[in-house]
Structure 1
Amino acid sequence: MLKVHGFSKVNKGAHGKTRDLRVLWALEEMQLPFEMVGLDHPAHELNTPAYRRLSPFEQLPAIEDDGVILSESAAILIYLARKSGQLMPADLAGEAQVTRWCFAALNSLELPLMSLNMIDWVEPESACANYRGFVRGWAEMRLPQLDRWLEGRDWVATENFTVADILMAHVLSGIQDDALLAPNERVRAYRDRCFARPAWKRAIDSYRARVQAT
């Protein structure tokens, strides 16, 4: 059976935001059976030789599936979509569009958004105001570009919900400053549409019942 390595315990600030949720959401959408293997992040259960064989960078999630070992959330979602025949078109052109938007979510959007969050986590704003301003400007450029793309579209890559939407919605959920989203009504509506899906609600409810915050 498919094994999913995810969090069993995580720091309070990251609870409900961790990237294993991307895989758990996809599995709920696909209705695929799996075995959950929970790891205690604060207790350093990821920092062992055994886990490094699954995830070289000691990160979650990772999966084991009939001899296939895979880490990196986007790679896992693409693998599961191709294996199940769900959340990705069967034709090469459609698959390419989904893959394109998986990369876009993690490179064009997540990079500036996560960078902005990290600045606020580790440094007082006064100590890196110029750099923070640059990164915020980067995010303020990307979000309107996405907003324009979403005109007339329900989903980001194809006419149907795909794994690219899971990645993009989860990236957008990391925005901590509502003022960044305020001018981008289509992006906000898209994010809300993704998170209104029953499969997400099942995934996050199960996660909250299982994963401890410390």
Structure 2
Amino acid sequence: MGETKDMRIQWALEEMGLPYRVRGWDYSGGECDTSAFAAISPFGQIPVIEHDGLVVIETAAILIHLAETSGGLTPADPDGREHVRQWCVAAMATVSPAIGGVAMFDAGLTGGDRAARDFWLGLARRWFGGLERWLEGREWIAAKAFTVADIALAGVLREARDMELMDEHRAVRAYMDRALARPAWRRTRELTAERMSVDLSAIA
């Protein structure tokens, strides 16, 4: 509940003040396994956006698309935009899989293989160590201002909010807390709770 990656896209839209319409798909009910959904999302995953007839899948790609087409949450200079793209990819391709491995064990989805958790946790500690060093003296991950890269990374880190990793890496925890304190994230939580007809406390 409240862990789906579409929240990261809604967060970006709320930050940018862009108009949008949400089209829900019943993932657990199998609607994302249909041929109709496969026609727009080959892997049967959310989120997906349609913007002026262009369909874009994958969270990082959507965030980058929104930033570059709107000019919001990304630096004006080419080097700055490249750093934003770099950190969007790093969040999804490097940090997220390690956290996901630990989370899958903790959810009982790996058959109780403790060695698997130790492997993923060790890898996550390595990536968190890199983040801890990079964040020294920085407020945000890719630029002086908040960007879509922070949405990508904070969204990933949120999945580790109850893991021991956060206690071990205080700069990473403080960074995540800064991002999740933003008004647009609070609105995203409220809108998601309303859309799903659940109490806000169900979406941490």
TM-score when scaled to structure 1?
0.88
Aligned partner of 1:94 among 58, 65, 80: 80
Q: Please show how residues 58-73 of structure 1 align to structure 2 within 5 Å.
A: 58-73=44-59
Residue 106 of structure 2 aligns with which residue?
120
**What is the percent sequence identity of the aligned residues?**
43
For residues 176 and 157 of structure 1, the distance between their equivalents in structure 2, rounded to whole angstroms, comes to: 21
1:178 CA displacement: 3.4
For residues 161 and 102 of structure 2, the distance between their equivalents in structure 1, rounded to whole angstroms, comes to: 9
Residue 17 of structure 2 aligns with which residue?
31
Question: Matched residue pairs, number?
Answer: 197
Residue 173 of structure 1 aligns with which residue?
158
1:208 maps onto 2:185 in alignment: no
Q: Which has the higher strand share?
A: 1
1:136 maps onto 2:124 in alignment: no
Residue 184 of structure 1 aligns with which residue?
169
1:42 CA displacement: 2.1
1:124 CA displacement: 4.5
Report the 3-state secondary structure (helix = DSSP H, G, I; strand = E; otherwise coil) of the residue aligned with 1:54.
coil
For residues 33 and 123 of structure 1, the distance between their equivalents in structure 2, rounded to whole angstroms, comes to: 41
- Structure 2 unmatched ranges of 5 or more: 199-204
Residue 7 of structure 1 aligns with which residue?
none
Q: Deviations over 1:62-96 (max 9, x none)?
A: 01111101111110110000111000112210111
1:131 CA displacement: 2.4
1:132 CA displacement: 1.9
For residues 31 and 197 of structure 2, the distance between their equivalents in structure 1, rounded to whole angstroms, comes to: 14
Residue 139 of structure 2 aligns with which residue?
154
Letter in 2 for 1:88: T
1:56 maps onto 2:42 in alignment: yes
Q: Deviations over 1:152-188 (max 9, x none)?
A: 0000000000000001001001015432111211100
For residues 43 and 174 of structure 1, the distance between their equivalents in structure 2, rounded to whole angstroms, comes to: 23
Report the 3-state secondary structure (helix = DSSP H, G, I; strand = E; otherwise coil) of the residue aligned with 1:95.
helix
Report the 3-state secondary structure (helix = DSSP H, G, I; strand = E; otherwise coil) of the residue aligned with 1:39.
coil
Output the aligned Cα RMSD.
1.3
Q: Deviations over 1:6-38 (max 9, x none)?
A: xxxxxxxxx111100010000000010011111
Q: Please show how residues 4-43 of structure 1 align to structure 2 within 5 Å.
A: 15-43=1-29
- Structure 1 unmatched ranges of 5 or more: 1-14
TM-score when scaled to structure 2?
0.92
For residues 110 and 97 of structure 2, the distance between their equivalents in structure 1, rounded to whole angstroms, comes to: 18
For residues 162 and 17 of structure 2, the distance between their equivalents in structure 1, rounded to whole angstroms, comes to: 34
Residue 84 of structure 1 aligns with which residue?
70
For residues 162 and 184 of structure 2, the distance between their equivalents in structure 1, rounded to whole angstroms, comes to: 26
Aligned partner of 2:93 among 99, 107, 128: 107
1:117 CA displacement: 1.1
Stretch moving more, 100-109 or 170-179: 170-179
Q: Which runs of 4+ in 1 moved over 4 A?
A: none
